[in-house]
Each structure stands twice: as C-alpha cells, then as structure tokens.
Chain A
Amino acid sequence: MFSRKTVILGSIIACIILTVSLLSFSRSRYGSFGPGRVAIIFIAPLQKTIATSSKFIKNIWNHYFSLVSTAKENDRLKKALGYADAEKNQWREMEFANYRLRKLLQFVKTTSNQVIAAEVTGRDPSSWFKAVIIDKGKSDGLKKGMPVIIPEGIAGHIAEVTSDYAKVLLIFDQNSAIDAIVQRTRARGIVKGETTGRCVLKYVLQKHDIRVGDVVVSSGLDGVFPKGLPIGYVSNVVKRTSGLFQEIKVTPYVDFDKLEEVLVILNPPEHDFISGQ
C-alpha cells in the first residue's frame, strides 16, 4: 500500500514527534516521575556498590603504588636520619673528647713532669680486681711502676708492660698502696685499695686530727708517685677507744667508671723498684 520510502520517512517523523512530546512531557513533570524513582531505587544501590567498590579498588591501587613509593621514601629518610644521628653522635663524642683532651693538655702545661697521654682500651673483667689496659707500651717509653694520673688525681701505676700496651693497676685495687699525707695536718699513712671501690688511709695515728673532707695527697716517699698529687678526700673517720690507728675511708677524686684517657709520668722519682725493671 505504501512504498518503503514513505514508511521510513513516516517512522522518522513519528520518532521526532514522540521525542519532542516525551521531552515536553518530562520537562513539565520533572522530579515526580514514578517509574524513574523505581529505577533509582533499584539501580542506585547497585551503582553505589559498584562505585564504592571501584573507588575502593582504585584507592587500593593508587595507595599500593603510593605506599611502595612512600615506603621507599621512608627507607631513604630513615637512612638519612640514621646517618644524621650517627654524625651528630660522632660530633658530640668529638666535642666531649675535645673537652677532655683540652683539660689534659692544660694539665700537661701546668705539670713539670714529662708525661705521655694514653687511651684506655680495656677493663678488668673481674669485679674484685681493678685494672685497665692502655694503648701505650715499652715502645713509647713506659716502664713497670710508672705513675698514671689524670687532672683530677692519681689513677694508678703501670703493673705490666708490653711493647705497645700496658696494664694499669688502679688505686682502688686491693693490691695497690700509695704513701700519702693528709694535706691539712700533714699526717702520714698508706692509701690502700678496697673491693668496695673506695680506699682506706691506714696507719694514721690516733693523735692526728683528721676530718671528713680533708684532702689526701701523695707524699712522694714511696719513690713511685711525685709528691703532692691529689689522691682523694676523707669521707669517713672512725676513732676507736682502743688501738693505735684511726680507720679512715678515702674517696678517690678519679671517677674510674669514666676513665678514658690517662697520662703516664715518664720521669717519676728514681727508685730501685723502677730502675730494677
């Protein structure tokens, strides 16, 4: 009845009219179209689920790569921080060493003795004996019996010596003994080491007036330590009614826990004990 051409043309016109009509209709009823809400009710949750999932996956994906780079950056920063910390620590150590060495140098300038500086490299493994190893030996002119000091006072004396190292017996070792005098009263005695980490001043007669805080110095009579080197201060005095001597505790000036550098006196007072080595 109609040609094929006429049918196509009519269909196109009908579609245009339908489209225009629908657009006009929907424009006038925006927001209250029932079937649209039903679609939203059913489709939107799915949309949301998919959107959330895709966002989640996208986030994971992005964060994964981000985390990888963050982890790398974190590693790099940690490494840099580690280096900075190590450097800072090194500077601080150098600062402390500088301070100690300046102090030693100042002391060397003020002392008339010929001295050599040495570093403590090891300590006595025992709790009951007190000795340290220093990094100077025979090749540096050290001999058995030489006094070892620091600016604060007497540290000990050389007990053993090898070509490059020496063992220093500290004054608070029980085998150590120094002929000493109390600076204020000139009372003489022997400073001996004790296992407690302190020393005792022995053989001081009861008649002498010794007080807590009195300074104890070397007498120089033992032929090992030069006269007048500080040893420690009196920390306790016990005068018993019986007996000839007082019981006097002496706390050394030297903090042996912090002993790192020492000075060895190379020209101590001449004595048979030293010249005999």
Chain B
Amino acid sequence: MTFFYHIFVGSCLFIFQSVILPYFTFSDSFYDLLVPFIIYLGSYHSVREGIPVAIFLGFIVDSFSGSYFGVYITTYTWLAISMRWISALIDMQNFGFLTLIVVIGVVIENILLFLAIMIANPEFQFSVFILGVIASQIFWAICTGPFFLIFFNKIFGFLKTEPA
C-alpha cells in the first residue's frame, strides 16, 4: 500500500513538473521536483521501500525525457542510496540540515546527469550558462526544498495514523 501511495505522489509531482511548471518563466532553472521526494524516500524509509519507488519514478522520467534511457533510473537509485547513507549521519529534524540535504541531492543529481552526458558525448563542455542554471536550481532548492521534505513526511505520517 505504501508503495502505491509513493508511486501516486511521485506521479502527481511528475505531472505537475511536466505540465504545470513549464507555464512559469522560472521553470527552466527550477530543480527536479522529484529530487526532494527521492530524498524523502531515501531518508525516511527503508531501502526495501525507497529503491523500488525510485526505480519506478526513474523509469517514468526516462520514458518522457529526451535523455538516454536509464539515466534517470540510475540517478534516482543512486540518489536514494546516497541519501539513506547521508541521512544516517545528520539530524533529520534540523531545518538547516534538511536544506543542506536537498542541496546535496540537487548537486548529486546534476553530477550524475552530467557524467551520463559526458560519457555519451565526449565533446561536451561546461559553460557559464550551465553553471548559472545549477546555481539557480540550488537557490530554489534552498528556498523550497526543506518544505517539500517536511510536507511529504507530515502527509505520510498523517495517512499512517489515520484509522482505516
């Protein structure tokens, strides 16, 4: 049941990101909304619960994106695994650490994506434009990321305590 709930929330986020968000001018420099969700899965849930959802969401994004197939499956899986490890080291109740972990998540995602791009296209070069977009993503992650984490956690906690 938890798996389907997470799949549902992740799919809603994906639809919002691919249909609604492009209407906003800042959408090109906004970070991947599934990153805080994967961080939430990796940090607050067991590997058995988090990884299958991360793989499934990676599969959805890979299917819709212009990326090489498997890029997002790999990225989200590694993101969930690394977040599981990082969350064990920091206090997940602290707002500052929540902000930090989202920023780390956004950076890890971009590193993995660019690694994939560089493997496929050896001529690829970093530019000021790319660094500007990443800086903008980090800015948005700092401003909104922790709230997403808190929101996901609260909603799930609320649903878990609701009598059937």
Contact = CB atoms under 8 A, between A and B. Distances in A.
Contacts, number: 69
Interface stretch (A48-56, A121-129, A211-219): A121-129
Interface string A55-97: 0000000000000000000000000000000000000000000
Interface residues of B, number: 31
Nearest to B121: A174
A197 B17 CA distance: 19
Contacts of A128: 67, 113-114, 117
A122 B66 contact: no
Contacts of B68: 175
Interface in A156-179: 159-160, 167, 169-170, 173-175
B4 interface: no
Contact of A129 (B15, B67, B127, B129): B67
Interface string B127-156: 101100100010000000000000000000
B19 A122 contact: yes
Contacts of B103: none
Interface in B23-58: 28-30, 32-34
Interface of B: 14-15, 17-19, 22, 28-30, 32-34, 61, 63-68, 72, 113-114, 117, 120-121, 124, 127, 129-130, 133, 137
A123 B19 contact: yes
A261 to B, nearest CB: 15
Contacts of B129: 195-196
A175 B117 CA distance: 10
Nearest to B17: A125
B14 A125 contact: yes
Contacts of B127: 195-196
A174 B64 contact: no
A108 B68 CA distance: 33
A195 B130 contact: yes
Interface in A117-136: 121-131, 133
Interface of A: 121-131, 133, 159-160, 167, 169-170, 173-175, 195-197, 257
A71 to B, nearest CB: 33
B130 A131 contact: no
A121 B19 CA distance: 7
B30 to A, nearest CB: 8
Contacts of B65: 124-126, 129, 131
Contacts of B63: 160, 167
Contacts of B14: 125
Contacts of A127: 28-30, 32, 133, 137
A169 B66 contact: yes
Given A125-B61, A126-B61, A127-B137, A170 B66 contact: yes
A14 B121 CA distance: 127
A130 B72 CA distance: 14
Contacts of A130: 66
Q: Which 9 A-B pairs have the closest CB atoms?
A: A131-B66, A129-B66, A129-B67, A122-B18, A125-B17, A196-B129, A173-B66, A123-B22, A125-B18
25 contacts: A122-B15, A122-B19, A123-B18, A125-B14, A125-B17, A125-B18, A125-B34, A126-B65, A126-B66, A126-B72, A127-B29, A128-B113, A128-B114, A128-B117, A129-B66, A131-B65, A159-B66, A160-B63, A170-B66, A173-B66, A174-B121, A175-B66, A195-B129, A196-B127, A257-B22
Given A127-B28, A127-B133, A195-B130, A122 B64 contact: yes
A167 B64 contact: yes
A131 B64 CA distance: 8
